């Protein structure tokens, strides 16, 4: 069984804390704690029965959740859980509005960062710090769901938003799986290209998935760990030399991407990888189950595009996300909370993890999935917390990430940076 090391847990606790300092307060449709004190109240108690709407964006997990729903329903007479699933981009843009009234999303998930903060500010969450579920999580991984003293959500997944690699194609090309610097990464891509495959399949036409590569590219380039927060605050600029350097590295990758990379949706990008036409898929470990479902049978590893000169601080990137919560506007909070409790039990979390090939933040989970076992060493590497989720303003995040897409489309790094900075400045 693999668990996050103590060192990693401490690092996560500190790194995630930046977004967890806002005081918890009731907002429109929010809740008030007993005794008249403002702040989120715990979910209502009562019989675990009736229909629960579970809102999330993980369409690839539907069958796994369906099985867990069957097990949950078998324990509680008269309870039903229906999944309400959107694409990740639609969920980011529309979920808050859809969940406000409580007609959907009795239980729900949010992304770490801007979406979690927006839900917090809107008073959508209930207080889970005294819930049965919270004790099942690794302490260092709970911070992504905290606001002040409140535990509003429970981060369910630990994912690695780094390119997945077809180990067989790497072996055939004699390419290195762990490049130590940027020149080594480009040399690796050159070997893969010379062997007759596309080195890197990148879904540049899908903002949510295409932006994951940004986490890798910025990790060892930025002068500080809260680089994206500082860009948003105006303390750093995307026209700074270090950011221009990163955009030039995106330019370096252009020959190694599939044709029309900026217009490629995630499904075609996955197909190129699954069918052995591309050696890497630039999304992350959260897509392992999807590519296995498309028929990929080769061993999968993760590759970190190390942008450093060999003295980089980080060996990879990770994220703690899919933050589970109970809707304060729900009419069936008791059953919704019971569903979250159920998902958070180690046996059920293990089923979810092993079936979806995703590590979880729940402790005492036995990983039996071969892909999870293979990738578990990444839990102990020196990894940076995915930086793109530091942005609290999605307009700013999209503008900054779009600078990379513009460079891949042929815009000069300087022009792309200036265009992005103009949008950032307008939002300051």
Mean per-residue pLDDT of the chain: 90
User: Where does 22-61 have alpha helices with state H?
Assistant: none
In the beta sheet, which residues pair with residue 359?
158
Q: What percent of the chain has pLDDT over 90?
A: 85
Q: What is the pLDDT of residue 27?
A: 29
Token pair recorded at residue 155: 């981060």
Token pair recorded at residue 84: 């309400």
> Measured between alpha carbons, how far is 234 from 282 in angstroms, rounded to an integer?
29
Q: What is the pLDDT of residue 38?
A: 64
pLDDT tens digits, residue range 207-248?
989 999 999 999 999 999 999 999 999 999 999 999 999 999
Going by pLDDT thresholds of 50, 70 and 90, the confidence category of residue 327 is very high
Q: What is the mean pLDDT of residues 118-125?
A: 96
Exposed/middle/buried for residue 149 (C-beta within 10 Å: 0-12, 13-18, 19+)? exposed
- Termini Cα distance of the chain: 46
In the beta sheet, which residues pair with residue 155?
323
Res. 261: pLDDT tops 50: yes
Q: What is the pLDDT of residue 89?
A: 83
> Measured between alpha carbons, how far is 154 from 133 in angstroms, rounded to an integer?
8
CB contact burial 199-220 (16+ within 10 A = b; e otherwise)? bbbbbbbbbbbbbbbbbbbbbb
State how far the alpha carbon of 263 is from the alpha carbons of 206, 287, 373, in Å: 8, 19, 34
Q: What percent of the chain has pLDDT over 70?
A: 91
Count of C-beta atoms within a 10 Å radius of residue 385? 23
User: Where does 44-126 have alpha helices with state H?
Assistant: 62-75, 88-99, 114-121
State how far the alpha carbon of 317 is from the alpha carbons of 16, 147, 189, 284, in Å: 13, 24, 20, 10
> Measured between alpha carbons, how far is 83 from 77 in angstroms, rounded to an integer?
19
pLDDT tens digits, residue range 29-73?
333 343 335 679 999 999 999 999 999 999 999 999 999 999 999
Going by pLDDT thresholds of 50, 70 and 90, the confidence category of residue 16 is very low
> Measured between alpha carbons, how far is 230 from 227 in angstroms, rounded to an integer?
5
> Measured between alpha carbons, how far is 405 from 153 in angstroms, rounded to an integer?
33
State how far the alpha carbon of 86 is from the alpha carbons of 143, 153, 239, 294, 361, in Å: 25, 20, 35, 21, 23
Q: Which range is least confidently modeled, 4-13, 102-111, 230-239, 316-325?
A: 4-13
Q: Enter the pTM of the model.
A: 0.80
Q: What is the mean pLDDT of residues 149-166?
A: 97
CB 138 within 8 A of CB 363: yes
**3-class DSSP assignment, residue 324:** strand
Q: What is the mean pLDDT of residues 149-165?
A: 97
> Measured between alpha carbons, how far is 285 from 287 in angstroms, rounded to an integer?
5
CB contact burial 25-34 (16+ within 10 A = b; e otherwise)? bbbeebbeee
Q: What is the mean pLDDT of residues 95-113?
A: 95
> Measured between alpha carbons, how far is 358 from 369 in angstroms, rounded to an integer?
9
pLDDT tens digits, residue range 366-392?
999 999 999 988 988 999 999 999 999
CB 205 within 8 A of CB 265: yes
Q: What is the mean pLDDT of residues 304-330?
A: 95
Count of C-beta atoms within a 10 Å radius of residue 263? 13
> Domains in the chain, ordered, with CATH?
50-158+320-376 (3.40.190.10), 164-318+383-426 (3.40.190.10)
pLDDT tens digits, residue range 73-84?
999 999 999 999
């Amino acid at each position: 069984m693999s668990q996050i090391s103590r060192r990693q847990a401490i690092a996560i606790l500190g790194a995630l804390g930046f977004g967890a300092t806002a005081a918890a307060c009731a907002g429109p449709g929010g809740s008030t704690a007993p005794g008249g004190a403002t702040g989120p109240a715990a979910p209502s108690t009562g019989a675990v029965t009736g229909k629960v709407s579970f809102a999330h964006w993980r369409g690839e997990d539907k069958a796994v959740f369906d099985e867990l729903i069957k097990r949950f329903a078998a324990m509680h007479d008269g309870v039903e859980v229906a999944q309400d699933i959107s694409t990740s981009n639609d969920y980011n843009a529309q979920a808050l509005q859809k969940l406000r009234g409580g007609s959907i999303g009795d239980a729900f998930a949010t992304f770490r960062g801007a979406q979690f903060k927006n839900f917090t500010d809107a008073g959508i969450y209930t207080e889970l710090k005294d819930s049965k579920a919270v004790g099942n999580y690794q302490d260092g991984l709970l911070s992504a769901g905290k606001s002040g003293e409140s535990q509003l959500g429970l981060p369910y997944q630990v994912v690695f938003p780094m390119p997945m690699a077809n180990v067989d194609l790497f072996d055939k090309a004699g390419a290195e799986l762990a490049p130590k610097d940027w020149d080594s990464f480009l040399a690796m891509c050159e070997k893969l290209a010379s062997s007759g495959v596309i080195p890197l399949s990148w879904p540049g036409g899908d903002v949510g998935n295409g932006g994951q590569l940004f986490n890798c590219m910025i990790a060892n380039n930025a002068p500080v760990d809260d680089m994206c927060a500082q860009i948003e605050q105006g303390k750093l600029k995307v026209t700074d030399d270090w950011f221009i350097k990163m955009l030039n590295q995106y330019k370096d990758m252009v020959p190694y991407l599939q044709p029309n990379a900026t217009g490629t949706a995630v499904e075609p990008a996955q197909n190129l990888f699954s069918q052995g036409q591309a050696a890497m898929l630039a999304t992350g470990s959260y897509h392992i189950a999807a590519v296995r479902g498309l028929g990929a049978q080769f061993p999968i590893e993760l590759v970190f595009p190390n942008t450093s000169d060999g003295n980089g601080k980080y060996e990879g990137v990770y994220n703690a996300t899919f933050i589970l919560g109970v809707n304060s506007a729900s009419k069936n909070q008791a059953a919704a909370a019971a569903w979250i409790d159920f998902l958070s039990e180690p046996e059920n979390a293990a089923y979810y993890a092993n079936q979806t090939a995703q590590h979880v933040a729940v402790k005492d989970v036995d990983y039996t999935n071969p892909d999870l076992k293979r990738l578990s060493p990444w839990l102990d590497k020196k990894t940076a917390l995915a930086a793109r989720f530091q942005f609290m303003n999605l307009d700013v995040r999209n503008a900054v990430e779009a600078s990379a897409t513009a460079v891949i489309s042929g815009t000069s790094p300087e022009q792309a940076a200036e265009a992005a900075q103009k949008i950032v400045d307008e939002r300051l």
